[in-house]
Structure 1
Amino acid sequence: MQPHPVPPPPRGGDPTALTLRTLHAARRFWWLVALMVALAAASALALSFLQPTRYEATTSLILTDATAVGVPEAARISVDRGQQVEVVQSQRVAKAAAERLGEQVTPEQVMARVTASTGQRSIAIDVTASHATPQGAASTADAVARAYREVTSAQAQQRIENTITHLEQERTETKQRIRQLQAELPDDRDPAGDTVAEAEVRAAIRRLTSLDQRIQQLTTNAALFGSVVDSVEPAEPPAEPAQPRPVRNAGLGALLGLAAALGVALWRDERTRSVEGEQEPLALVGAPLLGVVPDHGGKEANEGPAIEAAG
């Protein structure tokens, strides 16, 4: 009884057909797939050992809620996290951090070692530092966090001082206006009357009282709300290096090698249709087997029947 023909790998652009053709090519050229995967993994592993050892440590900056009750308007700094990320990575913060680290560390080196990103929490910024040693990574991250806090505090203090200066100038002008209005009041005015000048004097006095209260509030609360940072979570020295990661890199290399190998195997399978078994023609042309040409070798090839009929 003739064996049931093996169906050829389906053709077409649908994912199922492509998957079946890829599996067929991988089985046919398994040695090529294995070789390319091994070479890719070995190359990635070799490159891993050429990388310098680097450690990474991260500290989190918890930002102050600028809309909180009691925070003076003049002391509020924009807590737009995208803007504050730029401040963390600024030259000014890097310079302050380099001064803290000492050891001939330049601001440019600090900027090259540090990255900042918005944390998972809505009011947090993560500062990550890279260094050749675990302690160096943690120290760099903490130094940048402290420098950022100092810079934002100085900015807030400057804004408060500018606001107080403006309020004091307005206060001086208001006092002068009160004296001017009082001097214009007639001496023989009716004490029970309510002239326009007297109403202006009372309004100016209320304004002066309001200015005094605002100046006092800013002066008192400047130290409490003078920074955009509410708290800092210190960085911990990492236990393992961030690079090299030979096992991870070898795995990624193997995956990339596998993808490339499957592509090459599929390409070769599409262009080479050699027949390796009596069922191969059925799979290639999709037609019944009509006969088999035996190969007896040597002179025996002429003695036997040339064609063995199928069925």
Structure 2
Amino acid sequence: MSPPLAEGRGLVMEFGGPGLLTPGRRPVRAVAGVDIAIRRGEALGLVGESGSGKSTIGRMLLRLVRPTAGQVVFDGQDITGADRAALRPLRRRMQMVFQDPFGSLNPRMGIGPAVAEGIALHRLASGSAARDRAASLLERVGLSPGLYDRRPAALSGGQRQRVAIARALAVDPDFVVADEPVSALDVSVGAEILNLLRELRRERQLALLFVSHDLGAVRTLCDRVAVLYLGRVMEEGPAAAVLRAPSHPYTRALLSASPGRPGEARGPRILLRGEIPSPAAPPSGCVFRTRCPYALPACAETVPALRPLDATRRAACIRDDILGMEAAA
């Protein structure tokens, strides 16, 4: 098996904390010791409710933010403490597709020049060659050449997301983080964008981190999935296996609440009690225990480690009977 291209080891991200006027304020731990690895040509889905830390992990792997603790490794190089000068030659190889393409595009610039800008900035081409390359990319993502000089406001949401994908791919990256790229689109347009991403990552052998709360989208696009809750990974493994037969109670609850495929048999709906706790004051022990229908008193005392269920899957729960490990044994 090839080594990871992008890797996070024990990633921790805290926000806030004590200050001059707030000496007693506790930091908010958005990510709490996450290990994550993505290989070249692989798509990893990162799923969970809002506030689970998904987008923060993506930004740490791109070193758009520096982790409070842990390591970020890209292509074997530790870039955790790299400064802007050291990161500059790597920026071409690491790109991001944002949830809101309108907010990430310059409203005063035509979409073609916006794509050509990165090509010229990284000295991959210039002048008419950069323009031709940008036009070709726009056509590849399904946009008419006649839209080259249109500004983002003149396009639909789906068209703007195609521009954002073209701009990310314009510099021939090796690793792309797609942060909820279809959440603001209607179902049919979102499906088209997912198919486009699937084709492009296979063509270019991209390593893709796909951040989403949509398990159907993850099933369509991803090879593996990691399920987050309050900054911790609850379950991870091959997407097809995890979404067909989830082991962790949180994954089961997410799956029971998501729309199934036509004709697919669905189990009973699992309703989680209460609200997701604040990351500023997470529960002791297992962070999911306050909403888990199978929680025991011991769950308040022990932080469950991710442990193997088989050769490819891991889950974080102290109860062997819930994970099905007793039956497997």
Q: Compute the TM-score of the two structures, normalised by the length of structure 2.
A: 0.20
- Computing the radius of gyration from Cα coordinates, the structure with the larger value is 1
Select the structure that is richer in strand. Answer: 2
Question: Structure 1-normalised TM-score?
Answer: 0.21
Higher RCO structure (Cα 8 Å, ≥6 apart):
1
Select the structure that is richer in helix.
1
